[in-house]
Amino acid sequence: SSDLFVRARARRKADRYGGDEADGIENLLDPDVLTIGFARRFATYKRATLLLTDQSRLRQLLGGDRPIQLLFSGKAHPADEPGKGFLQEVAHLAEDPQTRDRVVFLEDYDLDAGRMLTRGVDVWLNTPLRPMEACGTSGMKAALNGVLNLSVRDGWWDEAFAPDLGWAIPTTSHESLEPHERDQRESAWLYDLIEREVIPAFYDRDAAGIPRGWTHRMASCLEHLVPEFHAGRMVREYVQDYYLPSAIRTKEVHGGDGSGVLELAAFKSKVRQNWPAVQVLEVSTPVDSHVDEEITVHTTVSLGGLDPSEVHVQLLVGEVDMEGELSATVTSNLTLQESVQGDAQGCYRYSGSTTCDHPGTMGYQIRIVPDGSELHQWTEIGLVRYGA
């Protein structure tokens, strides 16, 4: 268990330094106390000390009737002086005689320590400055072990969070606040969340002494997060969606007399040569529509020297976000109607229908992509033309 692992590491440290380092080792980490873990690089944006912002409030949490205990581990880059300062602040709290039984800083952070912590604590704490967290794989590993996440909604947790899987720490717009004020505000929200939701969920037990709400969340993590955030799923999808289709396509292109290679090269050369002339000239604007009502969109495009068989003219439909951009788009190919006269070369009229299947502000956009060969995938050329 984590408490035995930490005590073994502490004894190893005591043997190295001697003196009073061995005092209190047997009291480190009570297995019956809510344990919150934080273990990762001590980069400043990860804000390892956010929970230490209000020392008075923190000490009340550590020594209350329903106490918490903190387990920290990690390293700072040798050139990261602010990060090393965060680490020292945590280490000093762990050495304070008033808190050392409830706060542990585990030295020599390595794979063994990471493996033990991501399965041996009750809560995995993550407090990055949003939106700077790239992913947050330690939180994934913890969740796959039934550990509940207490995290800012950034990285993977912004995608995965649901109320029955853990807790989301509220954040504010950091552009409008000084860093100190921002951290004060967000740390206060973190304390509130621990006091009002995390601690009761852990300590509220039934007649058999089982925290039903807590175990329900643990089961939900295993049910919902393991299938999604798992290396096996990632590798399987890479093989199915990319590696196998690529291998099959390579065989098709290079097989036989090699004519497929020549055909593909000629097509790519033609597309690149003519693409500057490709444009969306005109798009009809449907009247306001209602849910489940079909609308028809017409567009006129110029293909330059390309033939309609060498492109797809597509309709993208989706929700309009706060910035006026389309999101969660659905793509369909428009149908060629006729060749039309125009000032530009190769003008054609396309049309197609779509149905708005849910309420809200919806938008659409026309897109033209190359598609003239069964051996060709338009994304590999990197050419696309959008309508205004």
Least confidently predicted of 3-12, 39-48, 70-79, 324-333? 3-12
Q: Which one, of 196, 229, 44, 8, lies nearest residue 120 by Cα? A: 8
Least confidently predicted of 15-19, 92-96, 97-101? 15-19
Q: Is the pLDDT of residue 132 over 90?
A: no
pLDDT at res. 329: 81
The four Cα atoms 261, 312, 309, 348 give a dihedral, to 10 degrees, of -150
pTM of the model: 0.69
Give the separation between CA 108 and CA 90, rounded to whole angstroms: 14
Q: In the predicted model, what is the mean pLDDT of residues 185-203?
A: 93
**Joined tokens for residue 334:** 């428009």
Question: 3-state DSSP call for residue 202?
Answer: helix
Least confidently predicted of 135-144, 148-157, 256-265, 343-352? 256-265
Q: Is the pLDDT of residue 276 over 90?
A: yes
**Joined tokens for residue 119:** 């399965």
pLDDT at res. 218: 93
Give the separation between CA 35 and CA 70, rounded to whole angstroms: 6
Q: Is the pLDDT of residue 21 over 80?
A: no
Q: In the predicted model, what is the mean pLDDT of residues 235-239?
A: 95
Cis peptide before 78 (omega within 30 of 0): no
The average confidence (pLDDT) of the chain is: 85
Q: In the predicted model, what is the mean pLDDT of residues 128-148?
A: 88
Q: Are 91 and 71 in contact (CB under 8 A)?
A: no
Q: Is the pLDDT of residue 195 over 90?
A: yes
Q: Which one, of 188, 182, 190, 78, lies nearest residue 129 by Cα? A: 182
The fraction of the chain above a pLDDT of 90, given in percent, is: 33
Q: In the predicted model, what is the mean pLDDT of residues 270-289?
A: 86
Q: In the predicted model, what is the mean pLDDT of residues 167-187?
A: 85
